[in-house]
Structure 1
Amino acid sequence: MASSRQLVVFGGLGFIGHRLALSLSHQHSVHVVDNACLEAAPHSETLRRCEILQAAGVRLHHLDIFDNDGMDAFLRGRDIDTVFHLAGSSSIKTTYEGQGFNQVIGITNTLLTKLASTKVARLVYFSSSMVYGDFRHTIINENHSKKPVDRYGVYKHATEVLVNGWAREHAIVSIIIRPTAVYGPYDFKHRLVAKLLNQARSGLPLTVSGDGSQSLDFTHVDDVVSGAVATLDYDTSDDFNISFGEARSINDLVSLLATFYPTCKISKNFDTGHPSAKRGALNSEKAIRLLGYEPAYPLETGLLNLIEGEGQHVEPSVQRKLVPNSIVPLAKSDVLSSEFESINDVLQTGWLTSGPYNTQFQDAFLQHLGVEGLHALTVNSCASALFLALQAHNITREVLVPAFTFSATINAVVTAGATPKFVDIESRFLGLDPAKLEAAITPNTEAILLVHLAGVICDIDRILTIAKKHKLVIIEDCAQALGAEYQGVKAGTSGVTSCFSFFPTKMITTGEGGMLVTRDAAVLDRAKTLANHGYNSSTMDREQQLMPWHRKQIEAGYNFRMSNINAAMGMVQLQRLDDIASTRRRKALKIIEGLRPLKDIECFEYRERHSVYQALNILVPSHYDRDGFTLKLRAQGVMASVHYPEVLPNTSVFSRFANSHEQFPVAEDIANRIVTLPLFGSLTQYQINRVIDAVTAAVADI
Structure 2
Amino acid sequence: MKTHHSPEGASNPRRSFLKSSGMLTAGLFLGGSLRASVPFHLSGPGNINTPAILGGQPVRPAQWIKWPIWKPETDEQRVIEVIRSGIWSRAAVVTEFEKEWAAALGAKRSLAVVNGTNALVVALNQLNIRTGDEVLVPPYTFIATISAVLSNGAMPIFVDIDPDTYQIDPDKLEAKITPRTKAILPVHILGQPADMDRIMAIAQKHNLVVIEDACQAHLAEYDHKKVGAIGHAGCFSFQNSKNLAIGEGGAIVSNDDAFMDRCFSYQNYGYPYGTMVGAISAGSTMQGTKVRLTEYQAAIGLSLLKRLDGETTIRNNNAAYLKSLINGIPGIRPYKLYDKVTRSAFHLFPFRYNQAAFKGLPREEFLKALRAEGIPCSGGYTVLNDQLFLKDAFESKAYQNSYPKEQLNFEKYVAENKCPENEQLCKEAVWFTQNMLLGPKTDMDDIASAISRIHQHAEKIKLAEKK
Please give the alpha-carbon distance, in whole angstroms, between the structure 2 residues aligned to 1:607 and 1:394: 31
Distance 2:157 2:66 in 1: 32
Q: How does 1:125-204 map to 2 (within 5 A)?
A: none
Deviations 1:312-339 (A, max 9, x none): xx96469898835747569722433322
Residue 678 of structure 1 and its aligned partner are, at CA, apart by 4.0
Q: Does the aligned pair in 2 maintain the 1:330–1:677 contact within 8 Å? A: no
User: 2:456 maps to which residue?
Assistant: 700
Which residue number in structure 2 is paired with residue 335 of structure 1?
70
Structure 2 equivalent of residue 668 of structure 1: 423
Which of the pair has the greater relative contact order for Cα pairs under 8 Å at 6+ separation? 2
The Cα of 1:697 is off from its aligned counterpart by 2.5
Question: How far, CA to CA, are the matches of 1:353 and 1:315 in structure 2?
Answer: 59
Shift in alpha-carbon separation, 1:315–1:480, aligned structure 2, 3 A: closer
Structure 1 length-normalised TM: 0.51
* Deviation larger for 549-558 or 500-509: 549-558
Partner of 1:597: 328
Deviations 1:641-672 (A, max 9, x none): 1221x221122323638342443111111111
Partners of 2:158 and 2:417 within 8 A in 1: no
Distance 1:607 1:557 in 2: 39
| Structure 2 residue corresponding to 1:532, chosen from 235, 260, 268 | 268
1:387 deviation in Å? Answer: 0.2
Q: Which amino acid aligns with 1:628?
A: E
Matched, 1:412 2:148: yes
Distance 1:532 1:455 in 2: 30
- How far does residue 603 in structure 1 lie from its aligned partner after superposition? 0.8
Partner deviation per Cα, 1:61-105 (whole Å, 9 max, x = no partner): xxxxxxxxxxxxxxxxxxxxxxxxxxxxxxxxxxxxxxxxxxxxx
Structure 1 pair 652–467 and aligned structure 2 pair: CA distance change class (3 A) = same
Deviation of 1:355 after TM superposition, in Å, equals: 1.6
Aligned to 1:619: 352
In the alignment, the residues of structure 1 paired with residue 220 and residue 280 of structure 2 have an alpha-carbon distance, to the nearest angstrom, of 43
Whole-Å Cα distance in 1 between the matches of residues 337 and 160 of structure 2? 21
CA radius of gyration, larger in: 1
Q: Does 1:375 align with 2:109?
A: yes
1:574 to 2:319 alignment: no
Say if 2:367 is the partner of 1:636: no
- Quote the offset at 1:581 in angstroms: 0.3
Task: State how 1:15-26 maps to structure 2 within 5 Å.
Answer: none
Is the CA contact (8 Å cut-off) linking 1:422 and 1:658 kept in structure 2?
no
Q: 1:496 to 1:678 in 2, by over 3 A?
A: closer
Q: Name the stretch that deviates more: 663-672 or 597-606.
A: 597-606
> 2: distance between equivalents of 1:318 and 1:496?
57
Matched residue SS, 1:362? helix
CA distance 1:322–1:452, change in 2 (3 Å): closer
Cα distance in structure 1, aligned partners of 2:202 and 2:384: 24
* RMSD between superposed Cα atoms in Å: 2.9
How many angstroms apart in 2 are the aligned matches of 1:581 and 1:478?
15
Give the TM-score normalised by the residue count of structure 2.
0.75
CA distance in 2, matches of 1:472, 1:537: 26
CA deviation string 1:179-215 (max 9, x = no partner): xxxxxxxxxxxxxxxxxxxxxxxxxxxxxxxxxxxxx
Query: Is residue 257 of structure 2 the alignment partner of residue 521 of structure 1?
Result: yes
Looking at structure 1, the residues matched to 47 and 417 of structure 2 have their Cα atoms a distance apart, in angstroms, of: 58
Q: Deviations over 1:496-549 (max 9, x none)?
A: 1110111222221111111101233332222212222333369xxxxxxxxx99
Deviation string 1:546-603 (CA, Å, 9 cap, x unpaired) is xx99473334432211111111111222222210100111222232222133121011
CA contact 2:30–2:62 (8 Å) conserved in 1: no
The corresponding residue for 1:145 is none
Aligned residue type for 2:347: Q
Residue 81 of structure 2 is aligned to residue 345 of structure 1: yes
Rate the CA distance shift 1:431–1:296 in 2: closer, same or farther, 3 A: closer
Name the counterpart of 1:689: 445
Answer yes or no: is the 8 Å Cα contact 1:334–1:508 preserved in 2. Answer: no
Aligned to 2:403: none
Deviations 1:336-390 (A, max 9, x none): 332233222211222112121111111112212224xx32100111100000011
**1-side partners of 2:238 and 2:375: how far apart?**
25
Q: Structure 1: which 5+ residue stretches go unaligned?
A: 1-246, 248-280, 286-293, 299-313, 539-547
Q: Percent identical across equivalent pairs?
A: 30
Q: Judge conservation of contact 1:330–1:679 (CA < 8 Å) in 2.
A: no
Aligned to 2:314: 583
Amino acid paired to 1:468: Q
Contact 2:135–2:149 (Cα < 8 Å) also in 1: yes
Please show how residues 226-625 of structure 1 align to structure 2 within 5 Å.
295-297=28-30, 316=45, 323=57, 326=61, 328=63, 332-337=67-72, 338-371=74-107, 374-396=108-130, 397-536=133-272, 550=281, 552-606=283-337, 608=339, 609=341, 610-621=343-354, 623=356, 625=362
Query: Structure 1 515/315 Cα, relative in aligned 2: closer, same or farther at 3 Å?
Result: closer
What number of residue pairs does the alignment pair up? 386
